[in-house]
């Protein structure tokens, strides 16, 4: 493993990447920085934020590097939506995938991202009847908060430790 590479918009994914960098002693680069520093084909761990089920930057990262594991940061609870995210991003079954809860920081959203969150919130608010899941999502969208924690990385560390045992 050569590096941790990430794509973050409002900082939650960057924070997880930093946490991984500290514990693994691997260098941490944004996907843009990595393009200038890392050689093609090297082994990396990739982290990207989820945008409409797509992991930002994953496609480009997978073209350039050997992605050994993917960490997808979204609003949903850690460890949920795994199959959905794997399918939407064409991640091979053999590649370990972890979903992590990030957070919402609307003060840092701009352009299309800001608009999409506004529309989604408006749509959910206008709904006369909301499921429990809808209510939870509406809360996450309307309250800026960070859910980034070391605990959310537990499943990842379990996998990572198996690498050094081999
Ligand atoms: C336009 C937009 C679309 C999003 N779509 C999803 C989604 O499909 N699934 C999800 O779990 N989170 C979704 N999110 C939430 C982000 O993935 C979440 O805020 C994440 O923590 C952002 O990471 P960052 O702070 O590194 O940019 C979306 C956020 C935005 C702004």
The pair phi, psi for residue 46, each rounded to 5°, is -110, 135
CA contacts within 13 A on the Cβ side of 45: 25
Report mean pLDDT in 10-residue bins for the chain, 166 residues. Answer: 97 99 97 98 98 98 98 98 98 98 98 98 97 96 98 98 78
DSSP tag of 65 = S
pLDDT at 164: 73
CB 34 within 8 Å of CB 3: yes
- How does strand 3-7 pair with strand 28-30? parallel
Nearest CA to 112 among 120, 103, 101? Answer: 120
CA 35 / ligand 1 centre spacing (Å): 24
CA 160 / ligand 1 centre spacing (Å): 25
Paired tokens of 129: 């009847």
Q: Which residue has the tokens 């499943």?
A: 155
Residue 37 CB–ligand 1 contact under 6 Å: no
Paired tokens of 81: 């939506």
Residue 44 CB–ligand 1 contact under 6 Å: no
CA 13 / ligand 1 centre spacing (Å): 10
Total H helices, total E strands in the chain: 7, 8
């Amino acid at each position: 493993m050569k590096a941790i590479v990430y794509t973050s918009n409002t900082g939650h994914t960057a924070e997880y990447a930093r946490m991984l960098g500290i514990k693994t002693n691997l260098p941490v680069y944004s996907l843009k920085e990595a393009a200038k520093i890392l050689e093609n084909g090297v082994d990396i761990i990739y982290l990207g934020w989820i945008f409409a089920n797509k992991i930002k930057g994953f496609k480009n990262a997978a073209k350039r590097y050997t992605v050994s594991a993917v960490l997808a940061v979204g609003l949903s609870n850690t460890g949920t939506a795994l199959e959905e995210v794997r399918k939407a991003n064409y991640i091979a079954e053999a590649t370990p995938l972890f979903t992590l809860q990030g957070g919402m920081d609307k003060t840092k959203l701009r352009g299309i991202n800001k608009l999409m969150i506004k529309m989604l919130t408006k749509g959910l608010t206008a709904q006369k009847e909301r499921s429990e899941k809808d209510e939870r999502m509406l809360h996450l969208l309307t309250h800026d908060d960070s859910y980034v924690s070391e605990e959310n990385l537990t499943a990842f560390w379990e996998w990572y430790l198996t690498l050094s045992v081999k």
